[in-house]
Structure 1
Amino acid sequence: MIFLPISVLLLLFGVSIKEAYAAGNTTYVVALLGQDIQNDTVNPDINYELVLSTNSTSSISVDVTGIDGLITTLTVDDTGKTVHTLDQTKGMNGSEYSNKSIIVHSADGFFTLQVFITRGDHNYIEGFLGIPIQSLAGPNQPVGQTVYSYVAATFCDVGGYCQLAVAALNDKTAVSIVLPSHVEEIVCCKGKGYHRSKRDTAFTLNKFDSIQFESTYDLTGTVIYSFEPIVVFAGSRNVSNGEVIAHTVEQLVPSSHWGTEYVVTNLGTNGYGDILKIVSHWSDTKITMKGFPSFILKNRYQTAVRRLDKGFSSHIQASHPIQVVQITGLTYATENETSTLSMTVVPSVQNAYTEPVTVACHGAAAQQAQFYIVTGNQYFGRIHSGCT
């Protein structure tokens, strides 16, 4: 199997790491995607690897907690990565409303959390870089009110299921989830009851609750918002990608962190190119892209799709904030390809990290994987580093 570069594009969210975490607290809420054990699959053979890293010169103690209490306490220091593996019982299963989310927290300082999903039956690895709760409330907020607003982007155009999951930090968190009108109704199980996506759009999530919708329809354009901190994950499972049964997963960025300028470069090793999904948050958003004709997204939450050929880059500018999601490694209409399909939320030039952050690679792909960091001063180039 060929492993594509695992692109981790790091987001700054307006303040430096030292300023944001001066109080010492770092908290991640995680809902785990990627499985379906409803269709006669007794053991999907899925593991979820939590990979923790830090730049701190002293050790950091991190608690991993679920609905039943403490799962484990991990020690993280600057000598390398700390890994903890969870089995499939914490993974979201089909369309469901459950209490499976986990909280990864430290009172000692800042650390990065990456989550890798491994599929033993398909020899597949995909992962995402987590976004701390402390970083979610972005600079583009309405006056006088903090809103956690998201617009989803998913990809299952070549088969499989698009997935979308939402989890809350606090009890009694009111969440609105409105799926696009073209998506057929999704029945979401909750114990012996259920929710219907075209009838039920308002939900109350407690701490450790999570809700997942999945469909063969593209869920891009789904609007999610809350006045309490929530996290949103998007991805897909069982996507037919050449000779590989692929899946994708990414933590989405709140629209309050979207920007108006992006630089993208093709990351793939195959000849098909990368797919870019560009999502608007405002009506009449004009977009110019190097190498493409300019265009206007007339409506809010509208999506444009462009293909970025192998070896090409593009500079994107928009009249209003947009979201850019990049799908890498697609082998559409290409025989005998075994590339890994990967999904990445691209940071805007305005919101890129400009200071060092420690990240890690999955061991199985350690020699091939690279991490790309876009910086404000060097946004036409990318810095890549090896794996820790």
Structure 2
Amino acid sequence: MNSRFIKKNRGGCVLMRMKAGLALVAAVSGLMMGCVEESSREQAPEGLASKDDARVHELSKATSRGREFWLAFPGNYQATAVLTLFIAGDTATTGQVRVPGQGLSFDFSVTPGQVTAVALPSSVAQVAVDGVEPKGIHVTAGADISVYGLNRLLQTTDAFLGLPTASLGTDYVVQAYPNVNVLNGSQFSVVATEDATEVTITPASGVGNHAAGVPFQVALNKGQAYQLRSTAAAPSDVSGTLVHATRPVAVFGGHQCANIPDGTTIACDYLVEQLPPTSTWGRRFVTVPLATRLGGDTFRFAAARDGTQVSLNGAVVAQLQRGQVFQTNIQGSASITANEPILVTQYSNGSGFDGIPSDPFMMLVPPFEQFAAQYTVTTPSSGFRSNFANIVVPNGVVAEVMLDGALIPASQFQAIGASGFSGAQLPVALGAHHLSAPQPFGVMLYGFDAYDSYGYPGGMALAPVAEVSKLTLSPREGIAVVGDLYCVTATVRDAADRPLAGVRVDFAASGVNSAVASVNTTADGQAEFCFEGTAPGEDVVTASIGSVTDQVQVTWTKPNAPPIVDAGPDLEGMASQQLTLRGSASDPDGDPLTYAWSYVAPPGVHCTFGSPSAPVSSIQCDGAGTVTVSLTTHDGTATATDSAQVVLGWASELTMCGLPRYTNGTSLKACGWATAGGSSTGIVSAYFTVDGGAPIPVMPDAGGGYVSTQLHLTEGTHVVRLSVVDALGHVTWREQTVSADFTPPVLVILSPTEQETNPDPVVTMVIQQQDASPATVVTQGFVTEDVPAGSNVLRHTVDLVHRDWSLVHVRATDAAGNTTEVVARVYVAP
């Protein structure tokens, strides 16, 4: 080994580097042999909250926090490395770290705001070059936790962020770093989370007995870990190796000790990352160069699908097939886009690259689709003199980004080409820091010292954004009123038309109004966005997930002022008199109006309008009493109504002789008395009507008097009305109801029948009676019952006294005077 390219310790603690996910609890500790106990007392920052403000909605549920993890420690360049798990959470809980294959078990407890260190023996580290070892590490807890793994040697150390079992997948593309003929050890590991897991591995380059591009299988049970390491000469690289499993697995990529960018650069460093499944990769990335460094940073792009085209600042730089990796140096801020999901990794070059105090590190760059709205991050507690946060934010919120409760000056940000984002390099002090913005943004934290460095993304979601195939908005068009909320729903599905949950959808309304929000899809693959319009006109609502977008339109109309309506003054008059209704209405917006009159009158009184759809109209009612009239107007949107009272009296005094309610006669005398009203106009005519039929004139005296006539009725119910008319044409009327019933009741004895033998003289007679009028039914002269009109079944109990044959008499008489009698023969056993 060429010692020129091995990192030299400069007396400080070696970095514990955490690649953090969403809801980050980052505990990055400066450690060396004497630092482990101190690190266990370091405080962990708070977990990331789920909201920023009213414009930022629920964040992804798929994060780096969880209650179950399967982890491993890929081998460092020496087998004596110190292995430590750091566990943090914002809920007090307990848990267990187990290495089932080695019979190891360690209990732990979590105190919010602190980091718990669990030391593992160095024998847990993987040493196989091409083999399966029982070295899977199982971490379980009673509440959500974050887990970080530290693999430390005095001169080469790295750390990884553990991904919970719930966020794992079955398809991976390895990202590591190539051999450069200094210390050749490009490697990756696979850990099974379930028994009977078959892993198919397709090496990107020849490794040992495995030829490039030729798949081979590894069978794993729960807790078993497979490691494949390339010790072949440059440019051997396990990057781009395809890993596909029948059940979810954890995959780690890295290097025993890598020189970056090549073998001429001092010095090498151990690399390790737990890799996200390809389902969580993205298509849009924005990056900012590492502060203080000269000559740019090394980047690698890995493709998960054939036909992947990668562009850098709008120019195509790579055409990749599945498993291919492209490496380049990028100077300055950059926008990276791809037509298919990719994995982007940013590397710090060795200090020999530019002579700046530094060291290689490797960190995953979260895609824009996996950004969050706030982060809590921390630097190591010591050992790094220079610490920075690189921030990329949408251009529209550069003046609204908060760092530790204070706004970051907008002048700190520079636009990143035409990406729509701006970036900043912010020096930060040692310790924890909280960052937030009203829209999702990205954070990368890193630091340098002599031959030392660290770096990790401040957080990211782990939603299945790479699986997004369809994004549709509904409704396609809409109309809303200024001042109201208008809502659209985005539906997100994969290529098999299955809903995708936990995917962040970015919404933006533009036009006469503007609004933005980020909303995560629910279990049905839907996300709802609502915004308020403040101006009339047209808006376009855009929903996007990376480069997948859809748009709909909404038209905002001005708020409608309802019409103002007046039904006119209250009126007094006579029955049958035509009275003028003087209604009016106006509309503040000048909208055309429609009108409609309606009324509510006492029972039996009927009214008509002269012009029912005009504001000025007339009303004429055929009876007396108080009538409520209402004028309703409509402007096409709103309705308004006003009412007035019309009090009507009779012009003459009129009474009718009392008519029988029921009669069985075909002829009936109708009579009455009429007296002229106070107007002295006199009564000019009088007449009877039956059921509104033809008038039957009668002639009273001019001043009124007695009138009568003989009516001939048909069977049925009739309304008899007496009307008188004065000289002004005013009609006064009274009416009564008469039912003419010429049909006797129907009586039937249902039981007992003559064929029945009754055991007791006390017998219940069941009688069916039917008549158009109410009736009275009498049995044996003393059991009496009044029944309504219609069909009735009666039960009359009588005591026949004697045992033998008896006659039972039943009589029914209706209200009209019709009678029916029946006699039943009833036998009582002796």
Partner amino acid for 1:81? V
1:81 aligns with 2:115: yes
Residue 213 of structure 1: which of 228, 232, 252 is its match? 228
Please state how far the C-alpha of 1:338 moved relative to its aligned partner: 6.0
Distance 2:218 2:87 in 1: 31
SS of residue matched to 1:229: strand
SS of residue matched to 2:373: coil
Partner residue, 2:193: 169
Residue 201 of structure 1: which of 197, 201, 216 is its match? 216
Distance 1:79 1:266 in 2: 32
Partner residue, 1:266: 289
Kept in 1: contact 2:66–2:146 (CA 8 A) = no
Partner amino acid for 1:211? Y
Cα deviations across residues 161-203 of structure 1 (Å, max 9, x unaligned)? Answer: 10111001111111111102xx33425xxxxxxxx56777111
Distance 1:386 1:17 in 2: 28
Query: Residues 28, 176 of structure 1: CA spacing in aligned structure 2 closer, same or farther, 3 A cutoff?
Result: same
1:101 aligns with 2:152: no
Cα deviations across residues 273-323 of structure 1 (Å, max 9, x unaligned)? Answer: 321111112222222222x732342422222111123xx221111111111
Please state how far the C-alpha of 1:222 moved relative to its aligned partner: 0.2
Higher relative contact order structure (alpha carbons within 8 Å, sequence separation ≥ 6)? 1
Query: Residues 70, 16 of structure 1: CA spacing in aligned structure 2 closer, same or farther, 3 A cutoff?
Result: farther
Residue 153 of structure 2: which of 107, 110, 119 is its match? 119
Distance 1:349 1:366 in 2: 29
1:152 aligns with 2:163: no
Matches within 5 A, 1:192-341: 201-215=216-230, 216=232, 217-240=236-259, 242-267=265-290, 269-290=292-313, 293-309=315-331, 312-331=332-351, 339-341=358-360
Partner residue, 1:64: 97
Partner amino acid for 1:130? G
Partner amino acid for 2:208? I
Query: Residues 364, 86 of structure 1: CA spacing in aligned structure 2 closer, same or farther, 3 A cutoff?
Result: farther
1:31 aligns with 2:72: yes
Distance 1:49 1:370 in 2: 26
Distance 1:385 1:323 in 2: 30
Query: Residues 20, 232 of structure 1: CA spacing in aligned structure 2 closer, same or farther, 3 A cutoff?
Result: closer
1:90 aligns with 2:124: yes
Kept in 1: contact 2:351–2:359 (CA 8 A) = no
Matches within 5 A, 1:132-147: 132-137=164-169
Cα deviations across residues 318-371 of structure 1 (Å, max 9, x unaligned)? Answer: 111111112223346556x763321112211111333545x6655554665567
Distance 1:224 1:296 in 2: 22
Please state how far the C-alpha of 1:10 moved relative to its aligned partner: 2.6
Partner residue, 2:21: 10
Kept in 2: contact 1:5–1:368 (CA 8 A) = no
Distance 1:373 1:230 in 2: 32
Query: Residues 92, 306 of structure 1: CA spacing in aligned structure 2 closer, same or farther, 3 A cutoff?
Result: same
Please state how far the C-alpha of 1:205 moved relative to its aligned partner: 0.6
Cα deviations across residues 48-83 of structure 1 (Å, max 9, x unaligned)? Answer: 221112233xx1212101023452111112222111
Partner amino acid for 1:30? L
| Unaligned stretches of 5+ residues in structure 2 | 1-9, 24-56, 402-420, 433-830
Partner amino acid for 1:126? D
Distance 1:288 1:93 in 2: 39
Alignment RMSD (CA, Å): 3.4
Kept in 2: contact 1:116–1:126 (CA 8 A) = yes
| Unaligned stretches of 5+ residues in structure 1 | 38-43, 138-147, 188-195
Query: Residues 94, 264 of structure 1: CA spacing in aligned structure 2 closer, same or farther, 3 A cutoff?
Result: farther
1:50 aligns with 2:82: no
Q: Comparing both structures, which one devotes a greater share of its residues to strand?
A: 2
Distance 1:157 1:173 in 2: 30
SS of residue matched to 2:143: coil
Partner amino acid for 1:115? G
Kept in 1: contact 2:134–2:225 (CA 8 A) = yes
* TM-score normalised by L of structure 1: 0.78
Query: Residues 18, 318 of structure 1: CA spacing in aligned structure 2 closer, same or farther, 3 A cutoff?
Result: closer
Partner amino acid for 2:173? V
Larger Rg: 2
